[in-house]
Structures are given as structure tokens and as C-alpha cells.
Structure 1
Amino acid sequence: MPIYKRFIQHVILNYVIGSFTAVLLVGAIFVFSKLNVAQYELLGLVKIIVISSAIMIGCEVMAFQMHLRPVRRFFYGKSTTFKDAEAVYVRIHHLPNLSVLRIIGPHLLGFSIPAAGLALWMIHTGQLTFPFYYVVIACIGACLVASMHALVEFFLTMRAIRPLLEELREQTHQHYGLNLSLRGRVLLSLRHKFQLSATLIGAFPLFLFCLATQIRLERSNATHSSSYWLWAGTILIFGVAFAYLGGRLLTREIEQPIHHLLEKMNEVKEGRLNSNASDLYSDEFAELVEGFNMMIEGLKEREEKNGQLLESYFVTLAAALDARDAYTAGHSLRVAEYSVLIGRKGGLNETDLDLLRKTALLHDIGKIGVPDAVLLKDGKLTDEEFDQIKMHPVMGESILRRVEPAYAMAPYLPGVRSHHERYDGKGYPDQLSGEDIPLFGRIIAVADAFDAMTSDRPYRKGMKEEKAVMILEEGKGTQWDPYFAELFVQEWHRNKGIIS
């Protein structure tokens, strides 16, 4: 794969640049510019560096191949399932972290230990005339150089993996129609990234300078050298502490707005669009907050328009249904009004009242499937015709199930299907009883019955409200839920027959 080959080239180039800068350049300055070495000692040092570097590079090549093996297998077509793609996606994200291990491990185990062993052997055999503790200083310096090299390699690898991740996501989407994502999983927190980077950047030059100065003083003036580390140690402690504190303050300054925005994003995810992010920042986060708040305003506007469209949709459907029969015009709107009245008196919140109203508007939608000859018949229905009428709750549920998205219609289905169930279990279509009947079905049943009794029909005139209320009272606990029927009756008496 061309993209994979380019990635390998970038990683190798990054490693060469980092190695040359951290190991050869810094190491050469540290060793050769501060030590006055004889010709034979210089040759010995070169041997140590060459042998140890060869071991180090061998270890790094092995680690590099091991870290990239799953990625290479995938891009060369040896892993073909979506699960393989997910595993490779995570592995690529881990490569910056693995690059740190790939640098630190071989530097310490493959370079420092062999170099220290060879140096001690050469000092012991007289090939080098350095004090033994110089080897300790050199090992500390190697650790510092390795840490800085690892830091540079980490950030270069972070940049190098992005084209590879984009290619992997595109391939996976083409082959499986699915999108790869970490789904919010944090593989390395900002706190650790900034804290370690800032501390290392601040401490590295101090340690390197102190070690190099120690060697210089040792060569020039042993008296000053003996008290040097008391002064240097104090400087190091304050310098490292300042670097750590600076990294901590920087991390907090970045984490705070990020956490604030994440909190607001979670609120948006839960459907709460009324809390904008606080504009408390004067850096680039101010632009991010402004963009976030503009997005929220756009979502609010779209939500409002969608709500208006949905409301219009429900009302239009109800009106279209009622228009089939001039005698029942406005029935669905009145049932919705009565249902909301009952629900409000029953303590339903505004969200549930809105769902109840829309359910009531659609409660008879299944009558669209009933033939006009049956639905608009002037006289008494036959048993067969009444059976057709009794199917309208089921047909209504079936119609709404076909509306997409399905989750948007789901809250309305139980009430539409169950609004003709009776509290005593003798209703239809499922002969449910008591509180087994869905809540909206029990409420709409009361409202529907009242409007049906008080509305005119071709074969009869609507009864007076007083008589309809009396029938509701008599049917409490048998035909209708006693609690909701009683709420409606009480409200009717309280308003002297005016339901609004």
C-alpha cells in the first residue's frame, strides 16, 4: 500500500532526525567538547559508541517490527474482518506511545548498558583514564538524551499516523459501510502529555548543563568541583520544580475549558439545548466557545422548526381523518384537548402532556383503513361491520409503525392501540384490564367516550353533557379508569359544564 509505505518512510526519517539530533549532536557536544581526551582514548570512545549504537539499532528494529506487525498485516491484506480493522485502528493510535517505549528501551538497555560495561572494562584495563564515576554521569546523560529523543519522536509520530488513520477509516467504510472510532476512549490524557513534556523540556537543559559543567570543573579545578553539586543540586531542584509547576498550570489552563465544553456537549446529547458554554476565555478557546454556542443556536432553531413541522403533521393528519365525516369534524382535536386536561389534573409533566396530546390527535388514524360504507353508515352496524371498526386501533398502530424514524413514533403506539380497552377487560383489541392498559390509552378512552357521546351522528343527535358525565360516573371502574374518569367529572362540575 502506497500510504503505508509513505508512513514507514516518514517514521524512519523522523527517527534519523531525532537520533542525529539527540544522540550524535548532543552526545558529541557533551562528550567531546567538555573532555580533553588523548588520541587513543578518542578511538576507544568511538569504539564504544559504534558497538553500543549497533546493539541499540538492532533492538529498535526488532521493537519497531513488533509494534507495526498488526498494521502491516492489515494493509497487505492479511487481516480482512471489521474486528481486525478496529484492532489495527487502536494499534495505530497507540504508535506514539509505543514509539516512546521503542526509543527509551533500546537506548537504556541496548546502548547505555553495553556502553557502560565497555567503558568500565576499558578504564579497568587502562585504555581509558577517566574516573569510574564518569560512567555514571554518562549513563545519566544518556537517559536524558533518550528522554528528549523519545519526546521528539512521540510528537512526530502523532503527526505521521494521521494520514494512515484516514486511509484506514476510508477503506473500512468502503468495505463494511461502518465508521471506525475510539468512541471517546482516551489512550493518553492531556494531563500526562503536557505534564511530562513540560517537565522534561524544562529539566533537560538543566541536567545536561550541570553534568557537563561537573566534568569541566573536575578537569580544571578539583577544589571547586567538590562543592559544585551543593550549588548545582539546589538549582536543579528549583528548576525541575518550576518546570513541573509550569506544566501543571498549563495543563489545568487547557483542561478546564475542554472539560467545560465536554459537559455542555453531554447536555446537548441529553437534549438540553438551553445552556450555552461560558465565554470566559481570551485565547483560541474563545473562538471554540463561540463556535459551540453558534452551533447550539442553530440546533435550537432547527429543533423549533422540526417541532412546528411535527405539530403541523399531527394536526393535518387528524384534520384529514375528521374530514371524511362531516359529523365528526374536530373530534380528534377535542379528544386531544380533553386528554390534556385530564393528564394535567393527573400530574403529568409538560413532556408527557405533549406526547399525550399528539397521541390523542392520532388515536383514530386507523379509521383511514375502514371503508366509507362502514365508517359513514347511517344505520346500525352489523356484527361483521362492527368487527371492521374494532380493527382500527390495530390498523392505527400499524400505520404509525411505518413512519420513519421508528423511534419518533414509538411513544404514541401504546395509546393509539389501547384507547378502546375497558378497565374491566372487556374492551378491544387485546382485552387488557386495569393498569395493564397503557396510561395514555386509559386517559384517551375517557376523553374519546365523552366527545363521542356528545357529538351528533347521522343516526342520532348528541346527548347533553350532563347525561354523558352521568354515564362516565356510572362506568368508573368498569368501562373507564376510575381515577381519570373522576378527574374529568370533577373538572366538568367545577367549570359548570364548560371544558376548556
Structure 2
Amino acid sequence: MNTYNTFINQLLRYYFFSSFISVIGCGGVLIATTLEIQKADIPVLILIILLSFCSMALLEVLKFLQDRKPILIALQSPNPTLKQLENAYKQTHLFPILTCMRILIPHFLGFSVPAVLLTTGAIYYEWLTLSYIYVLYGFLSAVLIASMHAMIEYYKTTIAIEPIIKKLQEMAYQHYQHKLTLKGKVLVPIRTKFQFSSIVIGAFPLLLFSLATQVRLTQEGHLLIEHFWIWSMLVLIVGVCLSIYGAKLLLTIVMRPLDQLTSDIASVEKGNFTRETADFYSDEFSRLVHGYNHMVAGLQERETKNIKMNESFFTTLAAALDARDPYTSGHSERVAVYAVAIGEKVGLSQAELTILKKTGLLHDIGKIAVPDAILLKDGHLTDEEFQLIKQHPVRGEEILQQIQPREIMAKYIPGVRSHHERIDGLGYPDQLHGDQIPIYGRILAVADAFDAMTSDRPYRKGMTKEKALQILISGKGTQWEPLFVDYFIEWIMEKEHIVS
């Protein structure tokens, strides 16, 4: 209920603020600058205003309680039905226009009708010394005040409902895994907003000035020119300020969804396909938001499929290579696991670990180009055969360069080409040394060597992990990066059950 209480408190603040702006801005100008009231009339007018206000308050409170009921039911219930949540969601979207109508009907008529009747009766029985024409002026003033008040309330309420909409959406998803949305349905067209706002913003200063002038002329019959300019400038300044404030509210309501969509589109351009935009709108922006979210959902689904296909592509290539030699089955996948373990201790980012993992799966892809007679030879290789084997990192690079688009595979090539380089520069194919070797190559060199030493071959049985680790230790600084060897040994000690 915290969200609801905050919502109600915010509505009350907006209500009193817009009442103050409208009543003081319009009524204050008319009364303070134009209307000359006899002292004997003041108590009667105060009584009429109080009675009219009570009538207005009663009708408005009753209408407000009716308007808020679906929202209160949904938020109060510990287990609201989906139908209750949907009704509350729609009612919340309608709340700004309901607020506007509440100002224009119960608020306006609840005050103006009793005030007109009571004032007319008071004049008739000579309790007031005012002319009947002032009843008409008072009614027209009430129209101006109610119109400005309704416009301000509409736009302020549009902002106030956003937390309620978000809360209802969260509840619907939490209880029923259902997304509450208007699905692009337009409840209040932008054209209607602009037409009403344009009339109020454009006509308000003119009508306020005309009405004030007419009241002043009715009282004095003529105006001194120097008094007229001072008085008229005051009235026009107040009217223009109120119109500028109304125009600012209108601009804010238009720019909020545009700024929100612009920000979210920029996020999607960077590859974030989970960035749905908030669906707070009930006008044509609802269609735009619905279309955008539908597009993002489609992109996210396609991206998920692409990721799965991409993962299966790398796994399939690794499996196809390992299938050529039953003695090294699973080698590429194990190397990828070992490499990622080292990469995590190095502090690589998640994106870098993903590249490292896929590079590990593909590191021996160049062996596809090696004839089976050499690759599967049961015994030691001749120098010529070993020279051919040593070309598999280069063949791997050539194979990956043929896969389109080339930029997708480019990030895996450095690790594939350099995983047999040595720190002392005696590796192959480029005799790189130290930091000249790409980091993925240096990590893979440790992982590949360990798995090769601990795997069975036709001509020898795999070493124990203890012996393989001793060889890695002895080769620190010459064949392998010392820090990466230390990290791998540390990981082995923590996760010994990983190594079979």
C-alpha cells in the first residue's frame, strides 16, 4: 500500500497546487484588481462561497472515491485476480482524464450552480448590493478557473500514475506471469490533448483580460488611460504566465516518452536487446511503445537463437575434430574449461571469457587439414611429419578467415594461431616471446599442455596430474607464463574433482 499512499499524497499535493495557481491566478486577478466589494456584502459572499465549496467538495469526493475504487481493490488484496489487476491497470491509465472530467463537472458545477443560485437569491432579497451582471461574470470566471485547473491536473496526474502502473505490472507478472499492456490501444488521443490545451493556453490570457476589463468598466464606466495601462499589464502578465506554465506542462508530457524512447533505442543500438521501454502511456505513444517493445522482444528472441546456434557451431566443430581421434575425444572442451578457469583468476571480463572459451574449442581446428595417416599415427612422428603438424595453428587461422562475416571470427584467430608459442621464443609458428604472445594464446598454452600430458595416446598412457603439474612448474618462464601456471595449479587444488 506504500505505492498507493504515495500516489494519493501526490494527487492531493497536485490538487492544492493547481487550485492555488488557478484560483489565485485567475480569481485573485479578477477580485483584487477589478471588483470593488462593499463591506456589508463581504459576510454574505463568504457564506455563499463556503456553502458552494461544501457542495463542490461533497460531489468531488464522491466521484474521486468511485474513480479510485478499482485501483484500491487491486492493491489492497493480497492475492488479486488477473481481472482485478487488468481493471485497475485500465482505470489507472484513465485516471488523468477522469481527474480532468471531475474538475470540469462535479468540481465546476458543484461550486458554480449553488453559487449562482445563492448569489441570485441574495441579490433578489437585497442581501447583496451587487448587480445581476456580476452573477454572469462570476460564472464565466469559474469556467476560466476550472479550465486552467483541469488542464494542470490532467498533466500532473499523468506523471503521478506511473508508479501505480509499474506496481500493477509487477503484480500481474509476479502472480500470473502476465504482462499488463494496452497493446497499443489509444484511450486519450494526442489530438484531443492538444486541442483542449491549445484552447486553454491560447485563449486564457485574452479571456481573462476581456472579463477583467468588462468588470472594471461595469463598475467605473470609464478608465483613466494611465490607470488602464498599469492595470491591464498586470492582468496580461498573470494570464501569460499561466499560459506559459500550461505550455511547459504540455511540452513535458510530449518530451518524456520521446526522451525515454530515444534513450532505449540508443541502448538497443549497442546490442542490449533486453531493454524494453516503460509502458506508461494511453495516447498514440502507447502504439509506439507497444511496437518498440514488440520489436525488441523479436530482436531478443533472434539474438537468443543466434547465441545458441553460435554456441552449437563451436561445439560441433570441436566435436567433429575430436571425433577423428578417439584417444583425444573431448580434448577441446576440456582445454576450454581449463582456459576459462585461468581467465577467471586473471580477472578477464565476461565478454573476454566467452572469447577465450570459444577460442579453446577451436584451438586445434587446423588439424582438420592434417592427413589421418599423420594425425592418427601409432608411434613417434618423423621430422617431416612433425613439421606438418606444426602448421596446424596457421591452417586453423586460414580456416577461420574463410567463415563469414570475417569480423565475427577475427577475435578468435590470435589465440588459435599462438597457442603453441613459448615465452622464451622457441615456440611455433611465429617464434613470439613474452608479452608478444596474445594473452589468449598464453593461457591456452598452459591448458592445452596439461590436457595433452594427462590424456592417453596409442603409444603412451597419460601422465598423472601430479607429474603434469611438475612439468608445468619446471617450464615456468621458459615455455609457459609463470603467473598462468600458478593460477592453474591454484584452481586444480580448489577444484581437483574436475580433473579426471
The answer to whether the 8 Å contact 1:199/1:240 transfers is no
Q: Which residue of 2 aligns with 1:476?
A: 476
The answer to whether the 8 Å contact 1:342/1:488 transfers is yes
User: 1: distance between equivalents of 2:240 and 2:428?
Assistant: 79
The answer to whether the 8 Å contact 1:198/1:244 transfers is no
Q: Which residue of 2 aligns with 1:326?
A: 326
Is the aligned partner of 1:300 residue 2:307? no
Q: Cα gap change, 1:405/1:204 in structure 2, threshold over 3 Å: closer, same or farther? A: farther
Amino acid in structure 1 at the alignment position of 2:418: S
After TM superposition, give the deviation of residue 364 of structure 1 in Å: 0.6
Amino acid in structure 2 at the alignment position of 1:290: H
User: 1: distance between equivalents of 2:348 and 2:247?
Assistant: 52
Q: Which residue of 1 aligns with 2:276?
A: 276
Amino acid in structure 1 at the alignment position of 2:452: A
Q: Which residue of 2 aligns with 1:55?
A: none
After TM superposition, give the deviation of residue 198 of structure 1 in Å: 6.7
User: 2: distance between equivalents of 1:242 and 1:492?
Assistant: 73
The answer to whether the 8 Å contact 2:276/2:296 transfers is yes
User: 1: distance between equivalents of 2:282 and 2:245?
Assistant: 22
After TM superposition, give the deviation of residue 370 of structure 1 in Å: 1.7
Amino acid in structure 2 at the alignment position of 1:257: P
Amino acid in structure 1 at the alignment position of 2:285: F
Amino acid in structure 2 at the alignment position of 1:309: M
Q: Which residue of 1 aligns with 2:238?
A: 238
The answer to whether the 8 Å contact 2:201/2:244 transfers is no
Deviations 1:4-35 (A, max 9, x none): xxxxxxxxxxxxxxxxxxxxxxxxxxxxxxxx
After TM superposition, give the deviation of residue 246 of structure 1 in Å: 2.3
User: 2: distance between equivalents of 1:233 and 1:335?
Assistant: 83
Q: Which residue of 1 aligns with 2:462?
A: 462
User: 1: distance between equivalents of 2:200 and 2:409?
Assistant: 57
Taking the TM superposition and a 5 Å limit, the aligned residue runs for 1:353-368 are 353-368=353-368
After TM superposition, give the deviation of residue 441 of structure 1 in Å: 0.8
Q: Cα gap change, 1:360/1:206 in structure 2, threshold over 3 Å: closer, same or farther? A: same
The answer to whether the 8 Å contact 1:199/1:244 transfers is no
Q: Structure 2: which 5+ runs fail to align?
A: 1-193
Q: Secondary structure at the match of 1:378?
A: coil
User: 2: distance between equivalents of 1:467 and 1:239?
Assistant: 90
User: 2: distance between equivalents of 1:475 and 1:317?
Assistant: 31
Q: Which residue of 2 aligns with 1:435?
A: 435
User: 2: distance between equivalents of 1:382 and 1:489?
Assistant: 33
Q: Which residue of 1 aligns with 2:288?
A: 288
Q: Which residue of 2 aligns with 1:404?
A: 404
The answer to whether the 8 Å contact 1:418/1:438 transfers is yes
Q: Structure 1: which 5+ runs fail to align?
A: 1-193
Q: Which residue of 2 aligns with 1:452?
A: 452
Q: Secondary structure at the match of 1:424?
A: coil
Q: Secondary structure at the match of 1:449?
A: helix
After TM superposition, give the deviation of residue 241 of structure 1 in Å: 2.6
After TM superposition, give the deviation of residue 230 of structure 1 in Å: 4.0
Taking the TM superposition and a 5 Å limit, the aligned residue runs for 1:67-466 are 202=202, 206=206, 228-466=228-466
Please provide the CA RMSD for this pair. 3.1
The answer to whether the 8 Å contact 1:203/1:239 transfers is no
Identity, % of aligned pairs? 57
Amino acid in structure 1 at the alignment position of 2:487: L
Q: Which residue of 2 aligns with 1:12?
A: none
After TM superposition, give the deviation of residue 236 of structure 1 in Å: 3.2
Q: Cα gap change, 1:312/1:497 in structure 2, threshold over 3 Å: closer, same or farther? A: closer
Deviations 1:39-68 (A, max 9, x none): xxxxxxxxxxxxxxxxxxxxxxxxxxxxxx
After TM superposition, give the deviation of residue 324 of structure 1 in Å: 1.5
The answer to whether the 8 Å contact 1:465/1:497 transfers is no
Q: Cα gap change, 1:341/1:223 in structure 2, threshold over 3 Å: closer, same or farther? A: closer
Q: Number of aligned pairs?
A: 297
Greater RCO (CA < 8 Å, at least 6 residues apart)? 2
After TM superposition, give the deviation of residue 489 of structure 1 in Å: 1.8
After TM superposition, give the deviation of residue 498 of structure 1 in Å: 4.4
Q: Cα gap change, 1:329/1:496 in structure 2, threshold over 3 Å: closer, same or farther? A: closer
Q: Secondary structure at the match of 2:412?
A: helix
User: 1: distance between equivalents of 2:328 and 2:223?
Assistant: 111
The answer to whether the 8 Å contact 1:203/1:240 transfers is no
Amino acid in structure 1 at the alignment position of 2:412: Y
User: 1: distance between equivalents of 2:312 and 2:327?
Assistant: 23
